[in-house]
Chain A
Amino acid sequence: MGTQQYASQDSQEIKLSCKNLWKVFGPNPQKFMAKHKQNPPSEAFIKTNHIGAVKNASFDVHPGEIFVIMGLSGSGKSTLVRCLSRLHKPTTGNIFFEGQDLSKVREKALIQLRRHKMGMVFQHFGLLPHRNVLENIAFPLEVQGIDRKQRKQRAMEVIDLVGLNDRVENLPMELSGGEQQRVGIARSLVVEPEVWFLDEPFSALDPLIRAEMQDEFLRLQRMLHKTIIFITHDFLEAIRVADKIAIMKDGEIVQIGTPEELITEPADSYVGEFTKKVPRGKVISVKAVMDEISEAEFSSLEKQGKAVMSDIPIEKCARQVLTQEPPVCVTDECGETFGMIEKEKFIDTLFEDSKPHSETEYVN
């Protein structure tokens, strides 16, 4: 999925993280939080007319990772990303960007951070209607005070990247939705940001264009290796692009995990509901269905047929697993056999409802 190979999961380095982040709207959020010792129960919100848009969010994002925040509308995902990019000031909690606490940074330093290290793409594009494509894309450079010639040159590079070369002089309203979002993407990349925030970037587009833009996005990321916070309400989109997904509900993060983890071990029925529609064969890897074998077992194993790699999706080896008589062997990247696949487990994973619910059902 996505660009997992670039995500340095093992390294200690963390690009962006938040700790116990709260964003509360209402008459007096600060006082409200203090009164409840920074951890108000959900009943308290209704009683005092406060709304908890983000409740106690904590997570880490590693360099080069695509971190997707998924939730339905009103779940607080947009507010959360606006806290991370400091468009909103969080009520309590901390945000660390390259080790620096963003919740304490002053306005001036924040402007510098935004100018050089952040880029953001918006659901409805957020283009400035009075500026043409080139001027929109060069806008972040203009704000920095870079001279006209230089910013045009840099903007043209990004325009090339998103393939808008023949639209340079057009105004936003003369472009299609997909083209407008390309402008939005180009503008957010023009300063070569460290973190790239995308707030439902493809939700306003037609399904076909959306799929095309997702491919385009993944292509760009393969070239640029940005650290990405990607917001969506579409679970299929999430699993398509994500290295890691955080699922939000009513302001709280319900579960954080890789797409595969969410599907094979959903934390609750809410998460399970989303994962139902997923083409499981495409997402679940061989590793999740195999049984590890010890060296003793290995020597007694009948080695027949071709072994499969542990990191391919199970869809790719379904025919072999189901038709071959002895269990199929699984190898790691170096070709060492370290597991095998039982047919029953394979089928149960692929077809979630295939497990017999109770014996009696079959007797009758």
Chain B
Amino acid sequence: MYGAMLQSKNSRLAFPALLVTTLVVFLLLGEELPFIMEYPEQWIVPFKYILNNFMDWLINQCSFGFFTFKELTRSLAWLASWPFEFGMGTLVEGFDVPASMLTGSGFHIPHVSWVAVVFCAALAGHYLNGWRLAAICGGCFLYLAVFGQWESAMETFSSILIAVPIATIFGLFLGTLSYWSKTVEIVLRPVLDMMQTVPIFAYLVPILLLFGFGPVSAMLGTVIYAVPPIVRCTHLGLKSVPEEQLEAGVISGCSRTQLFWKVKVPASKKQIMVGLNQVIMLTLNMVIIA
């Protein structure tokens, strides 16, 4: 009947009419039958306990024979902590070289001096856009030192230096994959929606349980949080290369790989840059929380 209504001349009115009718009917029914107004508690399925039990099992009992699941994740965390340790060592802590045959009594390599960092920032600014940007970059880093925030700032900075490239590479990879394969695109779309809508703490806690408290968990959380925009931008950028540019590439004799690297990627660079900008912003946001 609903279908018939839709096809009638007044089909535009059919849907609102149905909506109003539903609201009124159930409002009237609700006075007679209380379960229509409030969802009865005994109908709730105890997903919470099932999920809790599953997490509990995953962390405490799940095993692959030689090693447990938790050992697997923790060793992954240990592996992934290397780049982070390196970043921290360079900017904040320096490196302790332990005593051994090769090094003799062992010694300490100091971290990069704050003067050098300020100078490098200014230099990068000058390279990118001349003296004005150089002054702004150098000035901002100097500000951190002057106001006594140097150490914590460098800690954040080193996480960003590691997290942004990881998120970017991962995002570019997924975006490209979803461009090539319709299946990947269809699967990825709801996953990205989830990643962007689920509150951070909802996945931060299980990550902490699996990977332990530390920079790696923070980084993983950051990547999950920051990756969706660059995936979307990469996908959109590659998709929106004008047809004639592609045809010009093909008629010039491009192979598939040449067409991708010489035509599609450069043409979608602007979009990808927007994605990168989002990644950096979200990473900053997340690193502080994590």
Contacts and interface: CB of A to CB of B under 8 A. Distances in A.
B197 interface: no
Contact of B251 (A118, A129, A142): A118
A63 to B, nearest CB: 20
A187 B252 contact: yes
B214 interface: no
Contact of A122 (B244, B255, B263, B269): B244
Interface string B228-260: 000000000000001011011111111100100
A127 interface: yes
A120 B251 contact: yes
Contact of B247 (A115, A120, A144): A120
B282 interface: no
B266 A130 contact: yes
A111 interface: yes
Interface in A189-241: 191, 197
Among A82, A85, A126, A188, the most chain B Cβ lie within 10 Å of the Cβ of A126
A126 B242 CA distance: 8
A143 B252 contact: yes
Given A124-B244, A125-B244, A143-B258, A119 B251 contact: yes
B123 interface: no
A87 interface: yes
Contacts of B55: none
B250 A114 contact: yes
Interface string A41-77: 0000000000000000000000000000000000000
A127 B262 contact: no
Contacts of A22: none
A279 B250 CA distance: 40
Given A129-B267, A143-B258, A120 B253 contact: no
B243 to A, nearest CB: 9
B255 A111 contact: yes
Nearest to A184: B248
A143 B254 contact: yes
Contact of A128 (B250, B258, B267): B267
A90 interface: no
A142 B247 CA distance: 16
Given A128-B263, A128-B267, A143-B258, A87 B253 contact: no
Task: Decide if the interface of chain A is mainly helix, strand, loop or mixed.
Answer: mixed
B272 to A, nearest CB: 12
Contact of B262 (A118, A124, A129, A143): A143
B248 A120 contact: yes
A300 B100 CA distance: 123
B248 A111 contact: no
Given A143-B258, A143-B262, A128 B248 contact: yes
Interface residues of A, number: 30
Given A128-B263, A130-B267, A143-B262, A111 B247 contact: no
Contacts of A85: 251
B24 to A, nearest CB: 42
Nearest to B244: A126
A305 to B, nearest CB: 55
Nearest to B247: A87
A111 B251 CA distance: 8
Contacts of A111: 253-255
A3 B71 CA distance: 80
A355 B254 CA distance: 58
A125 B243 CA distance: 11
A139 B252 contact: yes
B253 A126 contact: no
B101 to A, nearest CB: 51
Contacts of A122: 244, 247-248
Contacts of A337: none
Contacts of A251: none
Nearest to B251: A120
Interface in A115-161: 115-116, 118-120, 122-131, 139-140, 142-144
A191 B244 CA distance: 19
A128 B267 CA distance: 7
B248 A127 contact: yes
Nearest to B255: A111
Nearest to A197: B251
A123 B247 CA distance: 12
Interface in A8-53: none
B269 to A, nearest CB: 7
A197 B250 CA distance: 13
Contacts of B253: 111-112, 114-116, 140, 143-144, 191
Given A87-B250, A124-B244, 4 more contacts: A87-B251, A116-B253, A126-B244, A143-B262
22 contacts: A82-B247, A87-B247, A87-B251, A111-B254, A111-B255, A112-B253, A114-B252, A115-B252, A115-B253, A116-B253, A118-B251, A119-B251, A123-B244, A125-B244, A126-B242, A126-B244, A127-B248, A128-B245, A130-B266, A140-B252, A143-B254, A143-B262
Closest 7 interchain pairs by CB? Answer: A115-B253, A126-B244, A126-B248, A140-B252, A114-B253, A120-B251, A130-B266
